[in-house]
A and B are shown apart, each in its own frame.
Chain A
Amino acid sequence: MKDSVFKILSNEKIAKNTYECILEGDISDVKAPGQFVNIKLDGFYLRRPISVCDAEDGKLTIIYKVVGEGTEAMAKAAVGDEWLTLTGLGNGYDTSPSGDYPLLIGGGAGVPPMYMLCKKLIFEGKHPTVILGFNTKDEVFYKEKFTNLGAKVIVATADGSVGVKGFVTNVMPSCEYTYFYTCGPEPMLKAVYEVSVTSGQLSFEERMGCGFGACMGCSCKTKYGNKRICRDGPVLTKEEIIW
């Protein structure tokens, strides 16, 4: 964990209410895909926890959806603005149990961490399939980015405006996989958990106070005892989850 200043290199809208922001700064503490950063914004007391989409060559990419006052302020930030940012938060995904054919399932604002994960799995010589779930065509992002990494990509939209009509869980049964990784809204995580035929890792979201394990604001119960989503998570294994 490290607290340092990041400078905005770009902050562009890439889909409906969805922004991609590339920042320059010290990324040495970003150790695993699925970790998050916690950003201090002027005028807001608590920081904003945002998952890491990519971290390479001194650049940090985050993708966020405008859902409230904080993310609205982020969307208005200009190139050159600086954010004090805690990096290296959370456990992140463990790629060691993935097998050769991992399945990655991202839903909406849960898509970004799948990107760095996909990149790492491909670097390790594995052959990931990626299912990207959105409500509608206007919300779709990063399809080409995943394809360019060399992954097999399937897009599903709830209204069928692009890709397969339905939820990510409608696509899952047609995929063969050795392990799964997912991030998205909790109802989707639960559905993925139920449909999945292998072990896997699920990334959870919760309102946080600190983001580094001090305040116990984001605790959850697991089969292996109480865990803090921010510190012991956000990634939990399928085996330990209690719904």
Chain B
Amino acid sequence: MANTKVNLCGITLDNPIIPASGTFGFGYEFAELYDINVLGTFSFKGTTLEPRFGNPTPRIAECASGMLNAVGLQNPGVDKVISEELPKLRRVFNKPVMANVSGFSIHEYVETVRRLDGEGDIGWFEVNISCPNVHGGGMSFGTSPEMAEQVTRAVRKVTDKPIIIKLSPNVTDIVSIAKACEAGGADGVSLINTLLGMRIDIKRRRPIIANKTGGFSGPAIKPVAVRMIYQVYEAVKIPIVGMGGARSAEDVIELMLAGATAVEIGAENLVNPYACRDIIEALPSVMEKYGINNLSEIIGGAH
């Protein structure tokens, strides 16, 4: 009997499959399609201190084997997430959930985490220091080791729950940033966020996306993710949540062999709303095919 359980920062997941933030809302849209309690957990929509409408539309552009998005952290703000979204989520999900938070100053990160910290169903914080689609915050914290460490330290002071820092691939050296997060007290890192990209409408001769640039995700970015997970795994002791283009049980195994303890599924949820359920159902037979009894034993197995 294939054992798909993994341990992420002290909490056991039934399987390593985690829908990525921004592709799964607060869960209840997908709960209309299948019982989302089959998931390991999921990372809810990126939450900021204040409500945000996000960027103007168009926010989406298609690419070969992927897509660009520039949503810009649209969310109702932390207080409404607590008063409106989490109660709705509780009706359909009974496992610890991953709270994805973002900010435009250290104060905003800290205050958002502090307010969410009292919610018992939050198992982990995923601190996004890598959103490429907002200006004057987000990714700027994730492109320097010093800033990444400062954010981590500041958030560390206001919660005892595991903190996972979500890293940007749009840097010269992701390893140094992962190490800075570890030094700052992070319990884990998740990578990779989207790659900064652009598409141009050749009829209009203008960028397709109103924000001009957007984050590139989908199957095309998987090799970049595998490479970065592999490099970070060699440099840090804390667990890695891997993501980037995964859309099958085989992809999940590949990211885990690179060093991921758990795997987030992003863009694929938008194309196949049943993607995570399908991967979870396929895992045992694919494990058997590759001679894997315990999934947790293959973490970092390619090193």
Contacts and interface: CB of A to CB of B under 8 A. Distances in A.
A86 interface: yes
B63 A45 contact: yes
Nearest to B22: A215
Contacts of A217: 57, 59-60, 69, 71
Interface in A199-238: 206-210, 212-221, 226, 231
A207 B58 contact: yes
Interface string A23-45: 00000000000000000100011
Interface in B177-203: none
Interface residues of A, number: 26
Contact of A3 (B22, B29, B30, B274): B274
Nearest to A43: B64
Nearest to A47: B271
Given A217-B69, A219-B74, A231-B29, A46 B57 contact: no
A86 B57 contact: no
Interface string B201-245: 000000010000000001100000000000000000000000000
Nearest to A208: B60
Contact of A210 (B32, B57, B74, B270): B270
Nearest to A221: B53
A215 B29 contact: no
Contacts of B273: 1, 3, 86, 210, 212, 214
Given A3-B274, A45-B66, A214 B57 contact: no
Nearest to A2: B33
Contacts of B170: none
B271 A207 contact: no
Interface residues of B, number: 35
Dominant secondary structure of chain B at its interface with chain A? loop
Contacts of A214: 23-25, 29-30, 269-270, 273
B53 A209 contact: no
B67 A45 contact: yes
A20 B272 CA distance: 26
Contacts of A207: 57-61, 208
A186 to B, nearest CB: 11
Interface in A1-25: 1, 3
B271 A40 contact: yes
B270 A44 contact: no
A218 B274 contact: no
Interface string B27-61: 00110110000000000010000000110011111
A210 B269 contact: yes
A46 B67 contact: yes
A40 B268 CA distance: 12
Most chain B beta-carbon neighbours within 10 Å: one of A207, A210, A212, A215:
A215
Contacts of B61: 207
A218 B58 CA distance: 7
Contacts of B288: none
A44 B62 contact: yes
Contacts of A1: 32-33, 273
Contact of A219 (B24, B53, B218): B53
Interface string B13-31: 0000000001111000110
Contacts of B83: none
Contacts of B172: none
Contact of A215 (B53, B64, B65, B270): B270
A70 B62 CA distance: 10
A45 B74 CA distance: 23
A40 B272 CA distance: 9
Nearest to B70: A217
A213 B53 CA distance: 15
A219 B64 contact: no
Contact of B74 (A86, A213, A226): A226
Contacts of A216: 22, 25, 45, 54, 59, 71, 74
A207 B61 CA distance: 8
Contacts of B24: 214
Q: Which of B24, B25, B65 has the most CB of A within 10 A?
A: B25
Contacts of B219: 45
B58 A45 contact: no
A218 B62 contact: no
A215 B58 contact: no
Given A3-B273, A3-B274, A215 B69 contact: yes
A11 B131 CA distance: 42
Q: For the complex of A and B, list the 6 residue pairs with the smallest distance between their C-beta atoms, beginning with the closest.
A: A210-B270, A217-B60, A207-B58, A209-B60, A46-B62, A216-B74
Given A45-B67, A45-B271, A46-B270, 11 more contacts: A1-B32, A46-B271, A206-B58, A209-B67, A210-B23, A214-B29, A215-B22, A215-B71, A216-B22, A219-B74, A220-B57
15 contacts: A45-B65, A206-B58, A209-B60, A210-B269, A210-B271, A213-B25, A214-B23, A214-B29, A215-B22, A217-B60, A217-B71, A218-B60, A219-B57, A219-B74, A231-B29
